[in-house]
Amino acid sequence: MDNRRLILLVIFSMSLVMLWDAWQKHNQPKALATANATQSATPTPTQSAPGTSPDKPAMAPAAVSAAERAKAPRLTVDTDMVHAEVSALGGDIVRLELKKHGANNAPDKPFVLFDDGRVHTYLAQSGLIGAGLPNHKTLFSLSQAKVVLKDGEEAVSVRLQAPEHDGVKITKVLTFHRGSYVIDVGYEIDNGGVSALGGHAYYQLTRDNKEAESTAGFFGGAQTYTGPAFYADAEKYTKISFKEIEKKEAKLPKPASDGWVAMVQHYFVSAYAPKAGQREFFTDELGGGLFTAGVIQPLAVIAAGQKATVSVPLYVGPQEQEKLSALAPGLDRVVDYGRLAIIAEPIFWCLSWLHKLVGNWGWAIIALTVLIKLAFFPLSAASYKSMAKMKTIMPRMKRIQEQYKDDRMKMNQEMMELYKKEKVNPMGGCWPMLIQMPVFIALYWVLLGAVEMRQAPWLGWITDLSLKDPFFVLPIIMGVTSLIQMKLSPSSPDPVQQKVMMFMPIFFTVMMAWFPSGLVLYWVVNNMLSIGQQWYITRMFGGDAKPANS
Model confidence at 257: pLDDT above 80: yes
In 3D, which of 331, 294, 326, 361 has the Cα closest to residue 180? 326
DSSP annotation string for 418-431 = HHHHHT--TTTTTH
217 — pLDDT class (breaks 50, 70, 90): very low
| Measured CA angle at 289 (ends 284, 292), to 5 deg | 30
Q: Determine the Cα–Cα distance for residues 62 and 404; give it in Å rounded to an integer.
A: 83
The average pLDDT across 2-6 equals 46
Where does the pLDDT of residue 426 fall: very low under 50, low under 70, confident under 90, or very high at 90 and above? low
Whole-number Cα distances in Å, 9 to 4, 13, 77, 419, 430? 9, 6, 55, 22, 10
Task: Please tell me the pTM assigned to this model.
Answer: 0.82
- How does 317-331 read in b/e, with b if 16+ C-beta sit within 10 Å? bbbbbebbeebbebb
pLDDT in tens, 156-190: 999 999 999 999 999 999 999 999 999 999 999 99
Higher pLDDT, 448 or 45: 448
CA distance 333 to 111: 22
Q: What is the pLDDT of residue 495?
A: 64
Burial class of residue 152 in the structure, from the number of CB atoms within 10 Å of its CB (0-12 exposed, 13-18 middle, 19+ buried): exposed
Length of the chain, please?
550
Q: At what angle do helices 377-392 and 361-375 cross, to 10 degrees?
A: 60
> CA torsion sign, 338 to 343 to 345 to 350?
negative
Answer yes or no: is pLDDT of 109 > 90. Answer: yes
For the CA atoms of the chain, what is the radius of gyration? 30
Average pLDDT, the chain: 83
For the cut 60, the answer to whether the pLDDT of residue 224 exceeds it is yes
